[in-house]
Each structure stands twice: as C-alpha cells, then as structure tokens.
Amino acid sequence: MKKKKFYKTFYFQIVPIFILGISLGVISIWPGIISERSRKCFFNILLDGTDGSVKIGTLFSMNSSYLLKIKNTENKYLKILLIGDSCFRKF
C-alpha cells in the first residue's frame, strides 16, 4: 500500500515539478527559445554545418565573435551551446 502511494506522489508531484524547473531554467538562460524564428535559426545552423561546409548566408546570420569561439572550440557540446547562445540570446 505504501509503495503505491510513493509512486503516485513521485509521478504526479515530483516529476512535474522537476520538468517545470528544467523548463524555466532553460527559458531563463535562453529567453529566445520560445520564439519560432530563433528555433529556426538554431536548426538551420545545425543542419547546414553537419556536412562540414557552411553557406555564406549562415555565416552572415551569426555574430562574428560567436563564429570565432565556435571555430576555436574542439568540444562538440560546447559548439552547440555557442550556437544556441548566438540564436536564442538575440531578439
């Protein structure tokens, strides 16, 4: 009986609060993530750069300081974070 109550509490109280916290944290760090234009920017840059060659239009859409940081970074995770910063932090 106690096991059922624990799972009920876990799934209906703890998990939604955890998901809400992560969502609010991401939105507070990248406020532009709720904008459709910013998400298109992010996915266009990721899709354009997957084959190793990037179009000139994509390069002009980004700030030059982010381009230098992305080029000098070896870590792929950090590159994605920098692309997110360049798209989601500008309005």
- Burial zone of 9 (CB within 10 Å; 0-12 exposed, 13-18 middle, 19+ buried): exposed
pTM (2 decimals)?
0.66
> Where in the chain are the domains?
1-31, 35-91
Query: Tokens 């000098």 sit at which residue?
Result: 72
Task: Output the average pLDDT for the chain.
Answer: 84
DSSP result, 16-48: HHHHHHHHHHHHHH-GGGG-HHHHHHHHHHHHH
- The answer, yes or no, to whether residue 91 has pLDDT greater than 70, is no
pLDDT tens-digit map of 25-47: 999 998 988 889 888 888 888 88
